[in-house]
Amino acid sequence: MARVFLGLQAEVPPQRERIVAAMERLRSCGVKIIRASPWFRSAPAENSYGAIGLAVEADTTLEPRQLRSICQGIERILGREPGDNLGPMPIEIEILFYNEKIINDGDLHIPYPHLLRRGVILASLAELVPEMVHPVLGRTIGELFSELPPERRPRRSGETTSS
């Protein structure tokens, strides 16, 4: 059984509904969600509604590639087009950490290499596991979040999720 942390983020309405649907689909595919962070929301950008998202801690028997494939399949079902990395995303499901593994194998990279650029996901992860040490950067998630410039820090959203 592997302990994983996933980041779920959406930029196109209905954001919350997409993320909740993604969590339900993950559960049905062998991902046991243990707990979820509070919801966070970024400020709207010029051509975006802003991102809303959270992080989850989960257990799974899926191997990293299997888990990534399931995440990508769920993204497609919920409106993300394959290869579409420009513009606002209907949904993103990223494997932030998979046990303490460091994987750089072709197109599979764990820990998630863009974590520091995703304020919503970093804030969410810092709520769940502030003392967890990033296996590549060697610093805690709380320290990494504290270094985010104030203008990039998302705010807590009033929404709740049962895990």
CATH number, domain with residue 81? 3.30.70.560
Residue 106 within a domain: yes
Q: Is pLDDT of 82 > 70?
A: yes
* pTM reported for the whole predicted model: 0.94
Distance between CA atoms of residues 49 and 39, nearest Å: 15
Task: Name residue, tokens 């590549």.
Answer: 136
Residue 162 within a domain: no
pLDDT (0 to 100) of residue 3: 98
Estimate to the nearest angstrom the gap between the alpha carbon of 110 and the chain centroid.
12
Distance between CA atoms of residues 35 and 55, nearest Å: 9
Residue 161 within a domain: no
Q: How many domains is the chain partitioned into structurally?
A: 1
Position 75, amino acid: E
Residue 12 within a domain: yes
Q: What is the mean pLDDT of the chain?
A: 93
Residue 39 within a domain: yes
| Domain that residue 123 falls in | 2-156
Residue 163 within a domain: no
